[in-house]
Structure 1
């Protein structure tokens, strides 16, 4: 059994291998530029790139909305559809279909 242990520990008797192992462990776990920190920074970069894409899409949507609202017809359409405004001497009827109305559960007694 002593020979088995000796067989596995033999490379660590060489000072260069020992220094290489200590250096590798130091660089992977303890250094300021360690592999763990790089992984964390790479995940942060990926999250920020996803946010960047999201906000680019939101900017495109907002530009479309601004373009629509820059005309008189666009403002009138928004006022009628979203805020239910109307012109004088005009009646508005809102038609809701059954499948568009939220179903409310009744309390069972």
Structure 2
């Protein structure tokens, strides 16, 4: 019992324990904040991967548009509903059945 009291009264142990508690729970970068930062980092890395692949896809599309006239015609017909003279366009839309 005497030995335990001397260990508890040790000023270095008390200071070390107080420092540990302060750093884990009360500091600006405590454990909860670090966990939140790690989650945000993971989410942002996932978004980065998505946007990098999207940029690559768009660059390929732009390259195709600059070099391929049939691609330009396809885009004009699909997106902007353009047509040639004496040509009829029929648009078919799928309708979901109501239960």
Task: Mark yes or no: TM-score above 0.5.
Answer: yes
Judged with a 3 Å threshold, the aligned counterparts in structure 2 of structure 1 residues 75 and 25 are, in CA distance, closer, same or farther, namely same
> What TM-score do you get using the length of structure 2 for normalisation?
0.73
**1:26-45 equivalent positions in 2, closer than 5 A:** 26-45=22-41
- Cα displacement (A) at 1:104: 4.5
Q: How many residues align?
A: 95
TM-score by length of 1: 0.67
Structure 1 distance, partners of 2:87, 2:79, is 17
Unaligned runs of 5+ residues in structure 1 are 1-5
Distance 1:33 1:78 in 2: 52
TM superposition outliers: structure 1 runs of 4+ over 4 Å: none
Aligned to 1:103: 96
Of 35, 41, 48, the residue aligned with 2:44 is 48
1:78 corresponds in structure 2 to: 75
2:89 alignment partner, one of 78, 89, 92: 92
Mark the runs of 5 or more structure 2 residues left unpaired by the alignment: none
RMSD: 2.5
Q: What is the CA distance between 1:46 and its match in structure 2?
A: 1.6
